[in-house]
């Protein structure tokens, strides 16, 4: 997410169990949300995420009182779990997420978490999303968020699963500024960097 860094915010990209070089076919073998294997994978991913937040707390250059969760697609679908169980998060942005249309085991069923989400949440969804159909998956997730109504917002675009990048960037930065405050410029540090 270069736009996050360009706007002077730190960004952590965890490589979860089952993804990228930690794939080892775990994710593809676990597809089928009703399986025990998928449940175990999601539990490991949540642990990975929480360890990532633990790591941030060891950094003196990170303000851990202003942590945000940003999820896209599967990451957005997992957003209610992450933001319900991790109380160090202050705000979230979910792009292209929603409830799954297939049954899930109770341990990882998003319905069991979404009402426990209390932090300000921005959702950006495509009206014609084939992965998370808007009316039955995206809007329903938004409606059931436990976040107070005045602290949640849904932006809908006439697109498929991928919402416009320009809108995602603009709305994400607006949301972070609103709930975390604008990034303060460290003029002295900048001046020292030019000498």
Q: Are 71 and 92 in contact, with CB atoms under 8 Å apart?
A: yes
Q: What is the CATH number of the domain that holds 142?
A: 3.40.50.1820
Of the ranges 18-22, 45-49, 52-56, 108-112, which one carries the lowest mean pLDDT score? 18-22
Structure tokens at 93: 């942005």
Q: Are 141 and 97 in contact, with CB atoms under 8 Å apart?
A: yes
For 82-124, write each residue's pLDDT tens digit.
999 999 999 999 999 999 888 889 999 999 999 999 999 999 9
User: Which stretches of 8-129 are DSSP H helices?
Assistant: 26-30, 36-57, 74-77, 79-85
Q: How many domains does the chain have?
A: 1
Q: What is the pTM of this model?
A: 0.89
Closest CA to 124 of 150, 93, 152, 155: 155
Instruction: Determine the structural domain holding residue 80 and report its residue range.
Output: 64-182
């Amino acid at each position: 997410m270069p736009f996050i860094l360009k706007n002077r915010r730190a960004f952590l990209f965890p490589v979860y169990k089952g993804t990228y070089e930690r794939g080892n076919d775990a994710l593809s073998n676990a597809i089928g949300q009703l399986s025990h294997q998928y449940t175990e994978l999601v539990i490991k991913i949540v642990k990975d995420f929480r360890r990532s937040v633990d790591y941030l707390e060891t950094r003196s250059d990170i303000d851990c009182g202003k942590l945000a969760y940003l999820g896209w697609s599967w990451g957005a679908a997992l957003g209610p779990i992450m933001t319900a169980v991790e109380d160090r998060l202050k705000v979230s942005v979910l792009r292209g997420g929603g409830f799954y249309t297939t049954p899930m085991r109770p341990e990882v069923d998003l319905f069991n978490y979404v009402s426990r989400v209390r932090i300000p949440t921005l959702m950006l969804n495509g009206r014609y999303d084939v992965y998370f159909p808007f009316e039955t998956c995206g809007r329903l997730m938004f409606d059931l968020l436990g976040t107070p109504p005045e602290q949640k917002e849904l932006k809908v675009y006439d697109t498929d699963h991928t919402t416009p990048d320009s809108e995602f960037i603009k709305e994400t930065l607006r949301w972070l500024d609103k709930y975390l405050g604008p990034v303060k410029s460290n003029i002295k540090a900048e001046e020292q960097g030019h000498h």
